[in-house]
Amino acid sequence: GQNIDQPTEMTATEGAIVQINCTYQTSGFNGLFWYQQHAGEAPTFLSYNVLDGLEEKGRFSSFLSRSKGYSYLLLKELQMKDSASYLCAVMDSNYQLIWGAGTKLIIKP
């Protein structure tokens, strides 16, 4: 079956760096997406990786290793507004997104 694994919850301190991991097993691979979802709101797009390596976008970076079925989202200079759930999703061979359950990130002052 298809499976996306990510930690349920993480805690970090304002101003610090946090890495959220995602491992996947899917039928085919057409890219990996990261979304941010604040409580009670819709998911919003953060990043897309289809080739191995690191994609940097401001304070957020996303890494992909296709051979290991592994990705991480790196958040630098954490701000209180970064408190949210972070969703990892893989696009399978049918171009459908398979979603992880999300990682709830709690930022403490």
Smallest separation, CB 75 to another protein (Å): 20
Q: Using CB under 8 A, which of 16, 17, 101, 106 touches another protein?
A: 101
Select from 9-17, 62-70, 76-84, 97-105 the region that touches another protein (CB under 8 A). 97-105
Contact call for residue 107 and another protein (CB under 8 A): no
Cβ(41)–Cβ(85) below 8 Å: no
Complex with another protein: residue 31 or 70, whichever CB lies closer: 31
Look at phi and psi of residue 6 and say left if phi exceeds 0, alpha if psi is from -120 to 50, else beta. Answer: beta
Q: What is the DSSP letter of 51?
A: S
Q: What is the DSSP string of 21-34?
A: EEEEE-SS-S-EEE
Contact call for residue 99 and another protein (CB under 8 A): yes
Rounded CA-CA distance 23/64 in Å is 10
Smallest separation, CB 40 to another protein (Å): 8
Q: What is the DSSP letter of 41?
A: S
Residues that bind another protein (CB under 8 A): 4, 30-31, 33, 41-45, 48, 50, 87, 89, 91, 95-102
